[in-house]
């Protein structure tokens, strides 16, 4: 019997497979496509997920950098530029890699960890039993697993077959057009890399620019063809039956900006996409007995602000260690249920953020008035800081002891100065095991009965005022610097009875 069967080899399914493998569980991943599609989707990662990838040793592989990630000086919210240099602590990170590269990197890492990835395998039915799930594939093959995870996107087959509702709203007002393009050199602004548009001015790069007629975004990614996109709210419905064309995008740009930009096709294949409307939905349940959902299978929302991978990949890491603990038999009662308890509120906040941004970019004089007020508010560091924390996911606090100021929050980027020299937390968390960081030497004896699943690292802690930290495998703090009784309680609550 397979311990965990994951349906979907996108970033979320592959990340979950890697987490399970690190925890000693060998999952099987099924993907209905026979080979990676290479279809352009996300253009990068934003938010705290960049720090998370660093803590699994994946940031260096993706970025080619040997240094840790650094916060970004600017971002956007609802077509407003965010000046993040005004913040005393900037929580916003970004990594500009296309989704195809991310998937290839995660697939390579999964292969290193011994994950069994089976492509060209489509799930068509499932049946749950008291201790297993039976899955039937399109070719008639039947597989049995202890747990089944749907990581198969917004149109999740697993979610539908498990009978999990997907309530929310569908809108059809907006039409978004996106393409990889070329533009004449005379159109490019040498100072900013933006587009110089006669009668309008400069369309800055990597921002959303709103006019009374729509939205435009220009993304000149280094080393690959730039992407141009528009969003409009037409009075009449738009047909999706005719293929998208560059001429259609050029006409849309002219309507949005009131000026024409000559557009050419890139060398080789490129993105050419039209999307009408959108969905905002959260699954009624993240778990139905032995079936669980991660990523877009559990929630869909507008793409504005790029929160999808930040949300989905952290779903996978939150679920990974809890599911592995359940499979291996040391999970405390109710641990697997904390996956939804912790991650659903995060999805709800992402939905709130994307809905607010969608409202702020819309047409109309009332929205313009709202934007004038919002522009004033964003000059206040406390407002910008609040929004930056919301968009990056740095404001997450899972249910925890309110008397413990660090518990339930993402672990700070501490450096441990021990007998082996100075080591960053990101170097200590690559094995995805629970960690007790102890600068006092007084807590190792308390944690000794959990030595089979909790590693103790001794040394002075730089980057935190705490003298000791108990860090979960998903790099959230379970406990900080209490007495022996509170540490023992935290170890039992998160990691079960002693081995």
Map out the domains of the chain with their CATH numbers: 2-168+280-392 (3.50.50.60), 171-279 (3.30.70.2450), 409-495 (3.40.30.120)
- pLDDT category at 235 given cuts 50, 70, 90 is confident
CA angle 35, 311, 15 (to 5 degrees): 40
The 10s digit of each residue's pLDDT in 78-101 is 999 999 999 999 999 999 898 999
Q: Give the pLDDT score at 117.
A: 98
Q: Give the pLDDT score at 321.
A: 98
The 10s digit of each residue's pLDDT in 137-152 is 999 999 999 999 999 9
Q: Give the pLDDT score at 439.
A: 95
Q: How far apart are CA 6 and CA 187, in angstroms?
A: 47
Burial of 421 (0-12, 13-18, 19+ CB in 10 A): exposed
SS3 content of the chain, % helix, strand, coil (to 5): 30, 25, 40
Q: Give the pLDDT score at 283.
A: 98
- pLDDT category at 271 given cuts 50, 70, 90 is confident
The 10s digit of each residue's pLDDT in 24-81 is 999 999 999 988 877 767 788 999 999 999 999 999 999 999 999 999 999 999 999 9
Is 80 exceeded by the pLDDT of residue 318?
yes
- For residues 273-300, give the mean pLDDT: 95
Among 385, 297, 390, which residue's Cα sits nearest to residue 349?
390
Is 90 exceeded by the pLDDT of residue 421?
yes
**CB of 215 within 8 A of CB of 230?**
yes
Q: How far apart are CA 351 and CA 328, in angstroms?
A: 34
Q: How far apart are CA 346 and CA 390, in angstroms?
A: 10
> 99 vs 37, 62, 96, 199, 497, CA distance in Å?
11, 11, 9, 36, 40
Q: Give the pLDDT score at 128.
A: 97
Percent of the chain residues topping a pLDDT of 70: 99
Among 249, 251, 256, 293, which residue's Cα sits nearest to residue 272?
249
- For residues 327-339, give the mean pLDDT: 97
DSSP code, position 85: G
Percent of the chain residues topping a pLDDT of 90: 86
- pLDDT category at 270 given cuts 50, 70, 90 is confident
Is 80 exceeded by the pLDDT of residue 401?
yes
3-class SS of residue 306: coil
Q: Give the pLDDT score at 361.
A: 93
**CB of 478 within 8 A of CB of 338?**
no
**CB of 45 within 8 A of CB of 308?**
no
Quote the mean pLDDT of the chain.
Answer: 94
CA angle 55, 118, 107 (to 5 degrees): 25
The 10s digit of each residue's pLDDT in 170-200 is 887 899 999 999 999 999 999 899 999 988 8
Maximum Cα–Cα distance across the chain: 72
Q: Give the pLDDT score at 481.
A: 80
Q: Give the pLDDT score at 220.
A: 92
**CB of 426 within 8 A of CB of 433?**
no
Q: Give the pLDDT score at 30.
A: 98
Q: How far apart are CA 316 and CA 100, in angstroms?
A: 18
- The token duo for 330 is 């040391």
């Amino acid at each position: 019997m397979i311990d965990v069967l994951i349906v979907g080899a996108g970033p979320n399914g592959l990340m979950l497979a890697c987490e399970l493998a690190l925890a000693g569980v060998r999952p099987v991943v099924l993907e209905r496509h026979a080979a990676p599609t290479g279809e352009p989707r996300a253009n990068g990662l934003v938010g705290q997920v960049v720090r998370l990838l660093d803590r699994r040793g994946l940031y260096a592989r993706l970025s080619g950098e040997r240094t840790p990630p650094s916060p970004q000086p600017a971002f956007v919210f609802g077509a407003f530029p965010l000046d993040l240099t005004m913040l005393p602590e900037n929580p916003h990170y970004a990594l500009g890699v296309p989704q195809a590269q991310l998937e290839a990197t995660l697939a390579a890492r999964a292969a290193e960890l011994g994950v069994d990835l089976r492509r060209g395998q489509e799930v068509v039915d499932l049946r749950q039993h008291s201790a297993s799930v039976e899955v039937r594939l399109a070719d008639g093959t039947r597989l049995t697993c202890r747990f089944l995870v749907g990581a198969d996107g917004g149109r999740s087959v697993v979610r539908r077959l498990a009978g999990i509702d997907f309530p929310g709203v569908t809108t059809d007002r907006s039409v978004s057009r996106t393409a990889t393009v070329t533009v004449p050199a005379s159109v490019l602004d040498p100072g900013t890399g933006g587009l110089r548009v006669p009668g309008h001015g400069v369309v800055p790069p990597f921002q959303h620019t709103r006019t009374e007629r729509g939205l435009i975004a220009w993304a000149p990614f280094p080393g690959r063809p730039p992407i141009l996109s528009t969003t409009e709210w037409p009075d009449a419905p738009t047909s999706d039956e005719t293929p998208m064309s560059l001429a259609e995008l050029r006409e849309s740009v002219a309507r949005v900006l009131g000026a024409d930009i000559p557009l050419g096709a890139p060398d080789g294949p490129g993105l050419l996409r039209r999307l009408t409307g959108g969905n905002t939905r959260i699954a009624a349940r993240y778990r139905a007995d032995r079936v669980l959902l991660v990523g877009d299978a559990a929630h869909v929302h507008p793409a504005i602000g790029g929160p999808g991978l930040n949300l989905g990949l952290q779903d996978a890491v939150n679920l990974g260690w809890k599911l592995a603990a359940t499979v291996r038999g040391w999970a405390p009662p109710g641990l697997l249920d904390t996956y939804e308890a912790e991650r659903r509120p995060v999805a709800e906040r992402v939905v709130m953020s994307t809905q607010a941004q969608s409202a702020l970019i819309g047409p109309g004089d009332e929205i313009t008035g709202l934007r004038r007020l919002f522009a004033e508010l964003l000059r206040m560091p406390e407002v910008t800081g609040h929004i930056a924390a919301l968009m990056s996911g740095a404001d997450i606090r899972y249910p925890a002891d309110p008397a413990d100021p660090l518990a339930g929050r993402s672990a700070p980027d501490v450096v441990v100065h021990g007998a082996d020299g100075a080591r960053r937390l990101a170097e200590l968390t690559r094995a995805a095991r629970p960690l007790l960081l102890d600068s006092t030497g007084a807590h190792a004896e308390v944690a000794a009965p959990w030595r089979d699943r909790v590693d103790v690292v001794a040394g002075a802690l730089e980057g935190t005022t705490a003298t000791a930290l108990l860090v979960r495998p998903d790099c959230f703090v379970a406990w900080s610097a209490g007495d022996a009784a509170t540490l023992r309680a935290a170890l039992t609550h998160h990691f079960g009875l002693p081995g």
